[in-house]
Structures are given as structure tokens and as C-alpha cells.
Amino acid sequence: MVNPTITSWAVDLAQVGAIYPWVGSERILYLIGLALWIGFHVWQIRFENCKLKMEEKQLAKGDTLKKCIDVG
């Protein structure tokens, strides 16, 4: 894992492979990405459930539900 991967463009391009920074870090990047994806779902499920509970409570108060039905 050395960087920069490319130090000159004045080379035989047929011999040039990957050109992104830190070639060799792909598996680490993959694991971080995978963790972020699963983490997003976990957070989003909690967030949405909490939001819907709060909205339900809000709609149970006074005439909020009636107002929404009238406006919507």
C-alpha cells in the first residue's frame, strides 16, 4: 500500500494497472463499507420506528388527526 500509485504519466500505458490511491487497501475499504451499510439499516429502522411512534402520539392529541384529514 504505497501512495501515490502513479508518479508519472510518461510511461508505457500498456503496463499500467490500477491507478487509484492506496492500491491494496480494497479489502479494508470493503469491510468498512459493509459495516456502514448494515449500520445504516440498523439506525434507520430505529429512527423510523421512533418517528412513527411520536407521530402516532401527536395524532392522538386534540384534533390534530381531524385537521390533517381536513387539510389532506
Partner 1 sequence: MDSDIGALTVIFTEFYYWLTIPLMFLIHVGFCLYEVGASRRKNTTHTLLKNVMLIPLVTITFYFFGWWIYFAFPNGPFIFEGKGLIAAPNAVPWSELMGAHLGGPPADGSITTVDDNAFWARINGVFWAAFLLFAWTAASIVSGSLIERVRNQAFWILAVMIGSVTWVIDAAWGWHWDGWMVKLLGYHDAYASGVIHAIAGGTALGALVHLGPRLGKFRKDGTPRNIPLQNPWLVSIGLFLIYTGFWGFYVACNVPIIDAESIGASGAVFTATNIYLTPTTLSAITLNFLLSLSGGLLAGYAVSRGDAFWTFSGGLAGVITASAGNDLYHPLQALFIGAIGAYIAYVLHNWVERKFKIDDAVGAVAVHGYAGVVGLIIAGFVLWGYPSSGFEGYAPITPWGQAIGAAIMFLFLGFLPAWVVCGILKMFGVLRIPKKVELAGLDFRNTIADAADMKELKSSEIAEAGKK
Residues that bind partner 1 (CB under 8 A): 13-20, 23, 26-27, 29-30, 33-34, 37, 40-41, 44-45, 48-49, 52, 55-56, 58-60, 64-65, 67-69, 71-72
Considering beta carbons, is residue 10 or 60 the nearer one to partner 1? 60
Considering beta carbons, is residue 7 or 15 the nearer one to partner 1? 15
- Alpha carbons 57 and 49: distance in angstroms, whole number: 13
Contacts of 47 (CB under 8 A, 6+ apart): none
